[in-house]
Structure 1
Amino acid sequence: MAARTGTANRYYSGPPSDHFDGTMFFNPGGKPPGRFTDLLRWQFSGGRAKWPAAFPSPHPQAKPADRVDGGALRLTMVGHASLLIQTAGLNILTDPVWSERASPFSFAGPRRANAPGIAFADLPPIDLVLVSHNHYDHLDLATLKRLRQSHDARVVTPLGNDAVINRAVPGMRLSVHDWGDRVDFGAAAIHVEPAHHWSARGGRDRRMALWAGFVIETAGGNIYFAGDTGFHDGINYRLMAEKHGGFRLAILPIGAYEPRWFMAPQHQNPKEAVQGMKLCKAAFAAGCHWGTFHLTDEPVDEPAAKLAEALAAEGLPPEQFRALRPGEVWDVPAT
């Protein structure tokens, strides 16, 4: 459609591939995001559950150690898809959002239901930031500015997102990659991997920047951060197991999944997340992308309850896949 209407890609220019048609990125064998008419149908369906004004975490704000060395692995939940990963002497943030809203506006849009699980001033020195795609609940320019000023962290992100970041955060150290790329960083290697999702910052830039998950390869075990993804018949999970041989930890989204007729291609539900954990051969999993920003129809606490049900149905212990709350710290066992 982009080629037929003459729409140019404002973020990325490159040769066609199995997930880029020369103008837009796409999910191979998958589904694009819903149409505008589908969005309107959902918005006016009246099925949106009411969230409380606040959904405070039972955990106090964490004060992380400066470093976690060797094969130890410590995970601290900030909120939504923002987590601090500490292992091999490295401090890595995923999709960091410290802003009050996941929105282009400071006065409107989804507002935090709980405070970040780590106060920004209490962050340890941040070495690396993984940004999975450019939706506002994952790519927060205000937070990236703060990280540039306070930590000068390196950002690894998929193709096209550099155009968004560079305009707002000049001087940020960016490493921009396609699916399948590998980035060596200290005692770790970062692999940029497929996810089934989409991208947009507004109404005219759909799928102009790539989306991705990440694998962090360390001597203490592999870590998989799936970013934001639909289940996609488990295709990408099987690929991760085949390519990387399994994981000590998978960080998987479990929220923003209702209504299924609209959300299923782009957002997996807790039952699918459990299947994903099994398919990618993860010893442990952490559930994210729930309970902080009211994005979709399900009640605020339903993802955690549905995750517990899915684990019980599979005969799996609840400690194997934890629905993390802001401030929660998990020293992930060795495998």
Structure 2
Amino acid sequence: MTTAQVKQSTDNLLEIKGLKKYFEVGGGLFKQKQQVKAVDDLTFNVKKGETLGIVGESGCGKSTMGRALLQLQKPTSGEVFYEGQDIAQLSGKQLRKLRKDIQIIFQDPFASLNPRMTVGAMLTEIVATHEIVPKKERQSYVQNLLEEVGLKAEAYWKYPHEFSGGQRQRVSIARALAVQPKLIICDEAVSALDVSVQAQVLNLLQKLKRKHQLTYIFISHDLSVVKHISDRVGVMYLGKMVELADEDSIYEKPAHPYTQALFSAIPDITEDNKERIQLKGDVPSPLNVPSGCRFHTRCPLATEYCKQVDPALEEVKEDHLAACHYTA
């Protein structure tokens, strides 16, 4: 899909066009700097009120993309439009105001919470900075927020180390929710939790989405989790989007060979003889991205043409996009 092919719609909360994020590594005496192409020419949109799941193997650029959307890492190039406004053109003050609307939940809640502050102090500081409620109402507002995410009001006085991992992630969710955002980026938000706690947090996220009319970008490597929570799913490989479709369509009939291989690995107790597609070789280094289709080194369908021409992300059927010369 080229930049010109992005569907313009008033239903889109976020529109990403040609997003790239490269990192320079190496250099020094007699050594040439190299570029890690972490995110390479992403073009897609996020609809209001949906949960867009982003999946792919570790190192495919999912988390870098999430940070680039929020401008936590400045994109190398490309455009990110939030409600029609180009985020890259915003001043520091405007960007701080935008971050009230777009929040992020990180994978490791302990690393993202200040260990020297109580939960109440942390959340109250955020509420005060963005002037969410009057000063006299801040404590009750924060305590109500903690109860909404499944904690007791007394959690207001506790420090992060006094909570379990699942409870700390609930604090992180409360922190994101405190400024009344429209979009929350969940960056591997449940991957560090036990399976039983994962289910509780996922159910909480869905409950909050309905109550507050939120939009999620849900980044994960766990295909089963993404299937459970997503309305649409985007599959990334080596910094690029290789398939994008609604959840039912992509799980029932994935079009891209990489997506087919990924989904074949999902355990299914209803199919005793489910065939697993084994990919050959390892994921190439983002320092040395293959020419043409970057998946051709592992693809069972690859031809000489694939090695030379990079396929565009195009519609293979209604609202189902794939970047493959030989889509099923």
The alignment's TM-score, normalised by the length of structure 2, stands at: 0.30
Question: Rg bigger for which structure?
Answer: 2
The alignment's TM-score, normalised by the length of structure 1, stands at: 0.30
The answer to which structure has the higher helix fraction is: 2
